[in-house]
Each structure stands twice: as structure tokens, then as C-alpha cells.
Chains A and B, each alone.
Chain A
Amino acid sequence: MAYKVLGLIDCYNNLDFGPMTKHRSIASTSFLGRYAFVDFALSNFTNSNIENFGILCKNHIRSLSRHVGNGRAWTGNTKLGDFAVLYDEPNVQVPGYNTDVANLTENSWFLKQINPDYVIVTAPNVVFEANYAQLLQEHIDSGARISVLYSHQTGLKSHFLNQKKIYLNDKGRITRTEVNRGDVDEGDISLNTLILDYPMLCSIMEYAQGTSSFFGISETLNYLFATTFVRAVPVKGYVRSFDSLAHYLQYSLELLDEETFYSLFKPEWPIFTKSYDTPPALYKEGSKVENSYIANGCIIEGTVINSILGRDVRVRKGVVIKNAVIGSNALIDENTHIENAIVDKEAQVIHISEVKGSLEDPLYIARGDLV
């Protein structure tokens, strides 16, 4: 890439998965057994040859740092680029003031050190694939200062709730945004992903700070539509915004459909993740697995249908797991029935025989719990 580009993953403004994200960010939450959500945003950078990237971490830095480490798993050339998890230490106990703009200001050394020509800001909870090399070129050719990625969606009455809907004119300029309250079923949803030049980012930061300490990039952007050509760029292909515990389960299971799966995963677009050197999965005699993703290290003696198993899960004899997501290192003891549920990492289901929720209201067993 002829330009120096900085990719930023903005963990502010993400919605949460209730109890599941009490001690972790969505960015580092496990997804499809072997990934964390942030892998998709990071791999978009890697596959677009972006050498410099950072993560704007709002809270739960431990979980995020453990997953991304020194960023090596997503780094092209290990000398050319730079990577940092950026943390707003002074404001971490003051949620109102803890904004992405405050974080960038606190960590302005990182921006100055890299001194990029262009910046891409994206969100970890929205899963999609984007070739930023191509999108950046189109952005430059368009002459716009800011481009915002969006996806035209139906089903807004139950999906993408409380997320930004954009309205654009026939020139592709965003005229206004509003929050999706689920009143209309069809519309254009912002992917919370911006392409902009570095001076523009600095202006946004300045504007935000001059206006209100509560202002982040997203709030500030709303004030720019009248005066600035903010260009809307449609994204085709798989787009999902993981925004609640129920959607986490539903969207995960939705990817068990092969057509949906291959609309997200492309051979030329590998998704990189942290490696754990786990042995392959072992399916014992008498096990039955149907329509499921199984991560390495699992030992399966029971039945797994329409579910997703993380690393090193133990499924003992007589177990039936259906429509469930099981976190890594969980133990499901003999004859347990699990349905429409999320069992978090390292949990042990031993003493109860049934864990059953509904797809709309999945039952959740917390990390490390023994039930």
C-alpha cells in the first residue's frame, strides 16, 4: 500500500452479551469455537496489508491482552508495523468520560509515532469482511474526507436494534442517522466502520473535546453530516452485529448453515487467531455429532447436535447437547441434557441433569461455575 494506514479497533459503543461480557469485552469473547470476535476485524487488517494497528480498549483489558498478546498472529512484517492495546487509564473508573476520543487523546503518542496518512476505525462486534486496500483507494478517488461502511438489511425489527441507521441522498452522502428502534423492518445499518484521513481524525477529536467530555467519535460524527460530505459505502456479503446474548447464540448457530458459513469464510481471506497447540478432536465410539463445529482438543462420548464446541470440551457418555455453544475446557458430565444454552469456559455441569433455555432467552452458565 502506497499510503501509511493505521487500523483501529474501537471497543467503545459495543453492546454487550449481558452476563457473558461481565468480565470480558465482546472483542475477546469466543466465537465459533476457535476464534474471538476481534480476530475478524484484525484479519481484515492483516489481509488488507495494514501493518499498523491498535485496539481502543474500554475495559476488561486482561481478557483482551491475553488473546491478542503482542499482535504477532495478525502481523505481516514484524519489523515494519506497530501494534498496541490502547487503554484510557485515568478514565477507566469514570465510565462517562471513558470515550474513544479520550482514549485516543490519552494515547496520542501512538498516533504521533505512527503518523499515518489514513485511519480506519472499525468495531469488533460487527462481523463482516472488508478489503480495506480496495476501499481506501475508492475513498481517496471519491474525494470524500470520511467514508462510513453500511449494509442494507431487512429484519431490522428484531436485528440491529439500538444501532445506527443511516439515511443517504442519491449522491451517496449521509444526511442523518437515527437509532434503530425496530419500527421499520428495512434500512441501512452503519457498520461503525470509518475510513478517514489522519487530519480529519484529529479534527474530530478536537471537535469532540471542545463540545463535551462525553463525546466520542460516533456522537461527533452526527454533527458533521450538515457540513461535511460523509460518504456511505455499501458492504455486500455476510454482516451480523452481535449485540445480545440471544443473538450471540442465534447468529452462531445460523453459521452452521453451510451457505451462510461460506458467505463469511472465503479461501482467499483467512481468519487468523491465537494458537493453543491443542491436539485434534477425539470422537469416541458411540458418539454422535451432527451439524456442529467442533474445536480441537474436544473428547466427545455423547451426542452433539446443531451446536458449537470450544477447545478441550469434554462431552461424557449419555450427554445430549442441542442448539448450544459450549466454551473451551468445559466439562459436561454423564447423561446431562443441554439445549438452547451457553455454557461458558471452564464451567462444569455435573450435578444437574438439564440445562435448558430457549433460543430467545438462552440459559447461561458462567465461566468456571460448577453446577
Chain B
Amino acid sequence: MKEELVAMILAGGRGSRLQSLTNKIAKPAVFFGGRYRIIDFVLSNVANSGIKSVGIATQYESTVLNNYIGSGRNWGLNGQGALTSILPPRETPKGANWYAGTADAIYQNIDWLDKTHCDYVVILSGDHIYKMDYSKMLDFHKKNDADVTIACYKVPLEEASRFGIMVADSEQRITQFQEKPKAPKSDLASMGIYIFTYSLLRKSLIEDAEDSKSSHDFGKDILPKLLAGDKRLFAYPFIGYWKDVGTIHSLWESNMDLLDNDCTLRLFAEKFKIYSADTFSLPQFISSTGCVSDSIINQGAIIRGKVDHSVISNEVVVEKGASVKNCFIMPGAVIKPGVKIEYALVGSKVVVEKNVLGKPDDVTLVNDR
């Protein structure tokens, strides 16, 4: 196999800020948008970018995630010449190691990368909501004769102190990193998406692995060292919708974004589809007592109550007299008759029997089964 660009997805983290949602499943497998899991976005991006080989490093509570990824068939990544590899930490003759950091997760799979004979590697997170054609980013990387290209997202300058900021010159060449700076010099935030020229990545990872002081992290160790070594690092400005759904609030907010007419994610566009596993659900049914406005509803849902400005997943039941507003409800949850629920995120298969009234800036997680 000879691939120009292969993808490595980092999907091993716990995502503890998602609280009990990630008790039994890794963050990339958390439900999103009525019919998806978060990882559908990055894997669909990989497929839609024409990449045929993808490795997915999994570690924390990986059974559901690994089963879901399977052969890659849900994203068409199981065709001729395609390769979807789930890459858990392995025991080797040298012993067994967990992945110690983002860089270590790739380092421990250098053998896998070697076998793809790739020229470039795109390193991705399994927990972002966006659509992106990585082949265009690769064109940018090659045009600039770059060693590393970092995808960047323009954030409002007043919020820049929450992000890892890239300071770049007029040619987009990165001159400085600022990690959560008090006085940001740029509004370009790193999206944690990197294209590396593989030969350099390979060398850097081996050096980093031998460095006992390193925390084996791309952002903290690998990239600063390459910048200091005068390598050609470029900032690739990404235009479009992008969200890191790392917290209950951002997960909820990102679901609400789907209801925004001006949402630049363009989930409903025919081109660049987001693929997902089919749920073999029944048709979605709005009963004569049901009332739906400004909402996204997936197949298999039964709506007998009122739903306003919410995202409702498959097999959710909203009973008669119930009222759901500004909520994201995961598959199989039931909102009992007469229950009023607002500004909430309801976990999968949860039965809600009492009123839940969250606030716009403090969304309530309902996840006790």
C-alpha cells in the first residue's frame, strides 16, 4: 500500500468534563445531533477528503467506540485498498504501555504508519464537530513546502486567551505559540489538527519518546521544539463551523447551533455528507397531540407532547402533555407525561419523570438511569 496522506485520529481520552456521559463510553462515542456520534464527523471528513487509510487510537472505555468503528463500513472506509485500523495500546516484547500523551499514541503506532508508506500524516481529534476537506489543507502544506501545517480557527480576540494561539507572519508562517495568553498577539486558535510531513514526524516522535522530561504532547512538546528548531510551521486558516464539544455546555450549545438558520456546518447539504450507522428505527411519528417547532428530530422518535428549539434523537419518546424546550435528548430517553424540561441535556435511555429547569448559562445534565 502506498498512500500520500493517511489519517491518525486521537480518540483515547476520557473527556471527564462531560461528567457521567463518559462513565461508560469514550467521548468520541458520545451521541450528537439526533443521529450521530461525535466521531462520525471526523471519520466522514476523512472519507470525504479521499483518504483511504485511517488509524484510530483508542484507550479509555473503548468497547462501544471500537465496536462502532468496526471495519469502517459506516463511512465507506472498508472498500478495496482502504484500511480502518483501531489502534489500542499494545503489549510488545518490551512490555505493555498505556498511551502517555497525544504524541506517544502516535509514536507507539509508528510501525502502522510505516506500513502505509505515506508521505504525509494528518493528525486529528475524535471530538470535534466540523466539516473539513483535509486534501485542501494538504495542498496548502505542499504549496508552502511546510514541515507542519496547523489548522487554525479565527476566534474573537477577547476570547483568544482561552486557546492555544498561533502567531503567524503575512505568509501564514508561524513565528510564535502562545498557550492561553493573557495578551494574545493573534486571533488564530489551534484546532489541534496537524499535517506533518511523515519523515519529520517520525524523527520527532522518536526523539520525543527518548526525552524523559517530555510530557509527550503535540501542543506542549513536539510543536514548540520544531518551531525552536526553525522548521517551517504554517497556520492553515479554516473557515466554517468548528466546535470542540468537550463540556456539557459546549455539547449542548453545539446541538443548539444546528437549529440556527445561519449555522455554517451545513449538516443538511447534499455534498460532504456526515455518515453514521443506521439505527433501523421505525419512522418518526408526530401524534395528533404532538407539536414541534424549530427542532431536529431523528427517525424512531415519537412525539406526543410539545417540542420547541430542541434536538431529539432516535427512539426518544416525548409523552402527551410533556414540554421540551432548548434541550438535546439522546437516543431512547423518555420524557414522561406532563414533565416540563428546559435547557437540559438528557442522556441515552434516561426516563425523565420530574420537571427539569436548567438555565441558558447553566444547562442541566440529566443522566441518572
A, B assembled together: yes
Segment touching A, from B1-9, B106-114, B191-199, B268-276? B268-276
The answer for the CA separation of A286 and B308 in the assembled complex, in Å, is 11
CB neighbours (8 Å) of A258 from chain B are 285, 287
Interface size, chain A (Cβ < 8 Å): 34
Q: A271-B280, A294-B286 are in contact. Are A284 and B35 (CB under 8 A)?
A: no
CB neighbours (8 Å) of A297 from chain B are 268
CB neighbours (8 Å) of B288 from chain A are 290-291
Are B273's CB and A280's CB within 8 A? no
CB neighbours (8 Å) of B268 from chain A are 279, 282, 297, 299
Per-residue interface assignment for chain B, residues 278 to 304, with 1 indicating a CB less than 8 Å from any chain A CB and 0 otherwise: 101011111110111111111100000
Which one, A256, A287, A308, contacts B293 given CB within 8 A? A287
Are B35's CB and A293's CB within 8 A? no
Cβ of A285 under 8 Å from chain B: yes
Cβ of A265 under 8 Å from chain B: yes
The answer for the CA separation of A289 and B308 in the assembled complex, in Å, is 13
Q: What's the least CB distance linking B160 to chain A, in Å?
A: 32
Interface centre among A33, A288, A289, A295 (most CB of B within 10 A): A289
Cβ of A268 under 8 Å from chain B: no
B window 22-44: CB within 8 A of A: 33-35
Cβ of B267 under 8 Å from chain A: yes
Which one, B283, B292, B294, B296, contacts A33 given CB within 8 A? B283
The answer for the CA separation of A308 and B312 in the assembled complex, in Å, is 19
Cβ of A227 under 8 Å from chain B: no
Are A280's CB and B276's CB within 8 A? no
CB neighbours (8 Å) of A281 from chain B are 284, 296-298
Which one, B280, B286, B290, B299, contacts A296 given CB within 8 A? B299
Are B293's CB and A279's CB within 8 A? no
Q: Which residue of B lies closest to A290 (CB)?
A: B288
Are A277's CB and B294's CB within 8 A? no
The answer for the CA separation of A201 and B275 in the assembled complex, in Å, is 43
Q: What's the least CB distance linking A260 to chain B, in Å?
A: 12
Q: What's the least CB distance linking A143 to chain B, in Å?
A: 38
Cβ of A275 under 8 Å from chain B: yes
Per-residue interface assignment for chain A, residues 234 to 266, with 1 indicating a CB less than 8 Å from any chain B CB and 0 otherwise: 000000000000000000000010100100010
The answer for the CA separation of A287 and B294 in the assembled complex, in Å, is 8
The answer for the CA separation of A281 and B273 in the assembled complex, in Å, is 15
Are B280's CB and A272's CB within 8 A? yes
Are A283's CB and B299's CB within 8 A? no
Task: Please list 15 pairs of residues, one from A and one from B, whose beta carbons are closer than 8 Å in the complex, sorted by A's number.
Answer: A34-B299, A256-B285, A258-B287, A279-B33, A280-B297, A281-B297, A282-B259, A283-B295, A285-B294, A289-B286, A290-B287, A293-B283, A294-B284, A294-B286, A296-B298
Known pairs A32-B283, A293-B283. 4 more at Cβ < 8 A? A256-B285, A272-B280, A289-B292, A294-B297
